[in-house]
Structures are given as structure tokens and as C-alpha cells.
Amino acid sequence: MTNRLDLPGIAWRSVSPKYVVSELLGLVVTGLVLAGATAPLYLIGWDFAPWVTVAVVVFVLVQAALTPRRVRAIGYQLRDDDLVFRRGVLLQRLVAVPYGRMQLVDINRGPLQRALKLSELRFVTAAASTGVTIPGLPEDEAEELRDRLVALAESRRAGL
């Protein structure tokens, strides 16, 4: 991918490879639920019901096949004055948030992520559209990152 949206001179830090596992397990659950939701189609005896199930399974499989690439595409880096974050394969997005603009930093852990010792870091600014959420960070790295970001935000604090 040469024409990938990228910033020159940035060594992106990637998220933990274990996040792929967490994503895949989540996809399996979603796939099972979706496939289960097609069951009523069999009950009413619709001829195309198997095809719907097949479509659901194929969709989930394609998603699963793309997951490693999607996880590899997630990257972040702490620059001198701001945090840059990128994600997305098909719809690529690159965000820069100045440290002084951070209002708070969240750490979230779902049950699956807790089992894998992963955390999700969320940055909140005054703008709802900022939307920077770094998933799949190792627990200790996430906490270290949070403390560092809070310290950086404190030293560069600005108003709204």
C-alpha cells in the first residue's frame, strides 16, 4: 500500500498483536448471533433461508480475514506537542490532538480484553468529533500512556 495516508517521518507505534485474537473472538460471537437470528426464516419455511445464513457466514469470514490488516493499520505516536493517531484500511483516518486540548483520558476494559490483559484508551476533547480511541493496548502500557498524557496535558493546559 504505497498510497496509504501517512505522515512523513513518523514511526508509528502499533497496538498489541493479541488484539487480533480479541477482535476475532468478538467476530465469532457476532457471527453466531447473526446466524442464530436467521433461524426464524427456516421456521416460516422460506426457500432462500440457507442462502441468508451463508451470506452471514461469508460476511463474517471476510471480516475475520481482514481483521489482522485492520489491527496492523492502527497506529499512534506522541509528537512534541500533539498526539497523532491513525486507523482504518478502507476508510483511513488520521487525527492530531494537541495535548493541551485533552479534557480527560479514559481506560476501558471489556471482559474479553481483561482476559487477554488488554485495555482501550479513549481521549476526550471539547469536540465530540475528535473520536480518538486506541484499542488493544497492553494493560501496563495503557496506564503508563495515560499518566504520561495527563502530565503532558497538565504542562500545556489551555482553555477551550
| Residues found near another protein in the complex (CB under 8 A) | 3, 5, 7, 81-82, 84, 88, 90-98, 100-101, 125-130, 132, 156, 158-160
- Residue 90 C-beta: closest distance to another protein, Å: 5
- Residue 42 C-beta: closest distance to another protein, Å: 35
- Let me know if 45 is exposed, middle or buried by CB neighbors in 10 A (0-12, 13-18, 19+): exposed
- Residue 72 C-beta: closest distance to another protein, Å: 17
- Return the number of the residue (22 or 123) whose C-beta is nearest another protein: 123
- Return the number of the residue (63 or 125) whose C-beta is nearest another protein: 125
CB 87 within 8 A of CB 19: no
- Return the number of the residue (109 or 122) whose C-beta is nearest another protein: 122
* R_g (Cα) of the chain, nearest Å: 19
Position 20, amino acid? V
- Return the number of the residue (41 or 124) whose C-beta is nearest another protein: 124
CB 12 within 8 A of CB 75: yes
Number of other residues whose CB lies within 10 A of the CB of residue 50: 12
